């Protein structure tokens, strides 16, 4: 239960003030695209700016390889593998159809080169070879992929292979793809740099990154294309202009040109009509909350992560915020326990809500404190 108590000392109503006086105005409707599914979000705030069926389960084709790469980055970070490893190319990897790095069966290839083939050339052969090197088999690697999807909250995702090869039990949603993309960019920025590379040569064959936006828009620096007959043409793109990064996902377009145009339309819409602001740093204390039956009567309350908001351009001066704290908080309280909500409004519209958490722990008090606070609560509540 939430309660808003304006006079209470441990509640705070705050205003976000900007010296400019922006004019109000409605944001135009987002583009209507003839794709099966699409989504546009802000990277920092996670705010959804345009969408069509973002939770629908759909074949992701080679966008699958973003999860393949994510597991790879984790293994590199743990020290379980190295870019200098020599990866043996199995018959299964060599025979794999679709986009390829053109590996040769039986050869040992530096793992670092295979990463480039996976990301830039979208090599199905390199994806399978890397999975076998890391987990012993593609099936074992897929279990890691599904475990990570569950951990990240990707509730409309199930992987059957590491390549995105068509299978009715292999699916993702646009929203799940966005979750994974934000994770990869934030956790592994050094590896994300490779997604903007336009070409790569191996075995005497030069191939080009299939993300045509890398040539059309210099602010685009990734991420991944996908195409099969059943999935249509898919494009996961990200661009950064100034401090603002957007992620667009287009699934099921009818051509390479169409997916590129649709993605550009979404990105232009987001950058043209919205802006993102950082309101608070991680671990900021915003107010205090009353705690009953504890060794302390108050606990500092705030947020553990950076707090961003994405709003229509010119609306920053209109933002107002308030904090709602749970009624009747009893000790013990642990750091990180959710004890309220921070709400940001743009006039009468809620634009963002974030959980408020205890920034310290409060242990349970003794018998006398318990009795005394029990009596006090009767007159307060």
Element (H, E) at 308: strand 307-312
pLDDT for residue 19:
30
Distance CA 145, CA 170 (A): 12
Distance CA 32, CA 190 (A): 35
Q: Kindly give the confidence (pLDDT) of every residue in the chain, 381 residues in length, as a single tens digit, with 9 standing for 90 and above.
A: 233 322 222 223 333 333 332 333 478 999 999 999 999 999 999 999 999 999 999 999 999 999 999 999 999 999 999 999 999 999 999 999 999 999 999 999 999 999 999 999 999 999 999 999 999 999 999 999 999 999 999 999 999 999 999 999 999 999 999 999 999 999 999 999 999 999 999 989 999 999 999 999 999 999 999 999 999 999 999 999 999 999 999 999 999 999 999 999 999 999 999 999 999 999 999 999 999 999 999 999 999 999 999 999 999 989 998 899 998 899 999 999 999 999 999 888 888 889 999 999 999 989 888 888 787 777 766
pLDDT for residue 370:
84
Whether 62 is a known active-site residue: answer yes
pLDDT for residue 381:
62
Distance CA 129, CA 107 (A): 11
Distance CA 136, CA 146 (A): 16
Answer yes or no: are the C-beta atoms of 147 and 141 closer than 8 Å: no
Distance CA 299, CA 290 (A): 7
Q: 49: burial class by Cβ within 10 Å (0-12, 13-18, 19+)?
A: buried
Whether 122 is a known active-site residue: answer yes
Catalytic residue among 45, 52, 65, 354: 65
pLDDT for residue 261:
98
- Phi and psi, residue 263, nearest 5°: -65, -40
CATH number assigned to the domain covering 2-21+279-380: 2.60.410.10
Delimiting residues of CATH 2.60.410.10 domain(s) in the chain:
2-21+279-380
Catalytic residue among 90, 122, 126, 263: 122
Answer yes or no: are the C-beta atoms of 152 and 180 closer than 8 Å: yes
- The structure tokens listed for 171 are 């699916």
Catalytic residue among 62, 126, 173, 238: 62
CATH number assigned to the domain covering 37-253: 3.40.710.10
Delimiting residues of CATH 3.40.710.10 domain(s) in the chain:
37-253
Q: Bridge-partner residues for 40, per DSSP? A: 50, 248
Answer yes or no: are the C-beta atoms of 167 and 148 closer than 8 Å: no
pLDDT for residue 250:
98
**Taking the CA of residue 175 as centre, how many other CA atoms within 13 Å lie in the half-sphere pointing to its CB?**
17
């Amino acid at each position: 239960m939430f309660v808003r108590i304006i006079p209470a000392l441990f509640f705070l109503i705050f205003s976000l003030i900007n010296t400019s006086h922006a004019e109000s105005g409605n944001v135009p409707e987002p583009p209507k695209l003839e794709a099966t599914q699409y989504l546009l979000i802000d990277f920092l705030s996670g705010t959804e700016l345009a969408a069509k069926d973002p939770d629908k389960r759909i074949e992701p084709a080679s966008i699958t390889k973003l999860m393949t790469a994510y597991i790879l980055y984790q293994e590199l970070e743990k020290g379980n593998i190295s870019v200098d490893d020599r990866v043996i190319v199995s018959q299964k990897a060599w025979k794999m159809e679709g986009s390829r790095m053109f590996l040769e069966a039986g050869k040992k290839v530096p793992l670092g080169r295979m990463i480039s083939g996976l990301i830039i050339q979208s090599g199905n052969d390199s994806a399978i070879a890397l999975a076998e090197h890391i987990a012993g088999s593609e099936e074992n690697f897929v279990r890691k992929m599904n475990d990570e999807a569950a951990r990240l909250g990707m509730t409309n995702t199930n992987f059957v292979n590491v390549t995105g090869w068509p299978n009715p039990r292999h699916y993702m949603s646009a929203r799940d793809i966005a979750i994974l993309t934000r994770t990869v960019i934030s956790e592994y920025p050094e590896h994300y740099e490779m997604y903007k590379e336009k070409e790569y040569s191996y075995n005497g064959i030069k191939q080009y990154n299939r993300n045509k936006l890398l040539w059309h828009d210099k602010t685009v620096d990734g991420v991944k294309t996908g195409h099969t007959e059943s999935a249509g043409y898919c494009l996961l793109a990200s661009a950064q202009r100034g401090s603002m990064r957007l992620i667009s996902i287009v699934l099921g377009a009818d051509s390479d040109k169409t997916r590129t145009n649709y993605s550009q339309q979404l990105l232009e819409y987001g950058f043209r009509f919205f802006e993102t602001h950082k309101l608070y740093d991680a671990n900021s204390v915003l107010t205090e909350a009353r705690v009953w039956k504890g060794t302390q009567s108050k606990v500092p309350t705030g947020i553990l992560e950076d707090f961003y908001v994405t709003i229509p351009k010119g609306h920053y001066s209109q933002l107002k915020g308030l904090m709602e704290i749970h009624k009747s908080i009893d000790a013990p309280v642990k750091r990180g326990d959710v004890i309220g909500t921070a709400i940001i409004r743009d006039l009468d519209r809620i634009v963002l809500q974030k959980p408020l958490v205890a920034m310290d722990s409060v242990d349970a008090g003794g018998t006398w404190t318990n009795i005394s606070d029990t009596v006090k609560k009767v007159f307060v509540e």
